[in-house]
Structures are given as structure tokens and as C-alpha cells.
Amino acid sequence: MAEHVALATFAGGCFWCMVGPFEQYEGVKKITSGYTGGHKENPTYEEVCSNTTGHVEAVQIEYDPEKVTYDELLNTFWRQIDPTDDGGQFHDRGESYQTAIFYHNEEQKQQAIASKEQLEKEGPFDRPIVTKILPAKPFYPAEEYHQDYHKKNRTHYLLYRQGSGRADFIKRHWGDE
């Protein structure tokens, strides 16, 4: 029996910090750091960071929906970001670091909307959830040195995750999960 592969695309600020949390799932086949949502074809990191391309840093996840559900991926996504910040994420500011869920079909759209509504109702936040839910657009893989950055440059990654405020934010809102 052939495995079914689906796509999930999430923008959660710096893509370095968005890869590791999804690796825990057996059904996740591949995670690619890249750029999406904008108008420039094949943008570079420098172009995206200039906030002139319309793109955000994102991860695209190839997964087997029989082994990991889209709802599980959504739950993991929400617990990696500050969904109330529309100016970027933690110390990374600007449109290229805004949060978004890019849905690939109507079912993902409905699941994303429902998860956002649940977070607004039951989550630990006292400000509105501003993460956008948008149709998927072309996804451009980031340069090779950005792929699996958390493994290639472990010490720098851990210092960045802590220094940016992300690690403390996650612990404060979600505990030691």
C-alpha cells in the first residue's frame, strides 16, 4: 500500500525555530524551510528580510495523514508562536516574520479556522489572535544553509531561541511541553 503524502504550510516567525517541533511525529516525512505568500518568484533570504517581496518565512511539511493528523500539526504550530503579535515574532520584526497558516484545501481551511476559534475561546491569551489563515501560494525553499539549521548549528540555534524570547514565551504560556 502506497503512503499518502499531504502538505501543511505554517509561518511562525523565524523558520529555524519551526522545524524541530514537527520532527516529533512519525508521520512527518520532510520539513522544508522557505518563503511563501508573496509576489516575487524565487526570492532570496536577503530579499525576504527587506520586507519588499510580500513573503514570510515558513515551513512546508510533507506528512502522512494516516500517521499524524492536520489537527496535531495545527496544535503544535499554535504552541510555537505568539499568535497575538502582528508585527513579527519575538525579537524578529517586520512582515517577513508574521504568522500565518497556509491551507492547501477546503478541509485544512476549516480545521485551521476551528483551531483558531478554539484558541481564542480556550487559550491562554488575553489579546486577540491575529494569525492569518490564507490559501497556499507557491512555496520557495530557502537556501541550503537554512535547512535543518537547528541541527547544523545547534549551539547558535539554542542561544537564538532563548535570546529571541521564544523559549520563555512558550514555557510561560504552555509549560514544559
**DSSP H stretches of helix in 62-165:** 70-78, 106-122, 149-152, 154-163
Start-to-end C-alpha separation, the chain? 34
What angle, rounded to 10 degrees, do the helices at 166-174 and 154-163 form?
Answer: 60
6, 11, 14, 100: the catalytic one is 14
- 14 given a catalytic annotation: yes
Pairing type for strands 28-36 and 139-141 reads: antiparallel
Q: Is 5 helix (H, G, I), strand (E, B) or coil?
A: coil
CB 38 within 8 A of CB 53: yes
Backbone angles phi, psi at 52, to 5 degrees: -120, 0
Single-letter code of the amino acid located at 155:
T
Query: What distance in Å separates the CA atoms of residue 172 and residue 90, rounded to the nearest whole number?
Result: 14
Residues forming the active site: 14
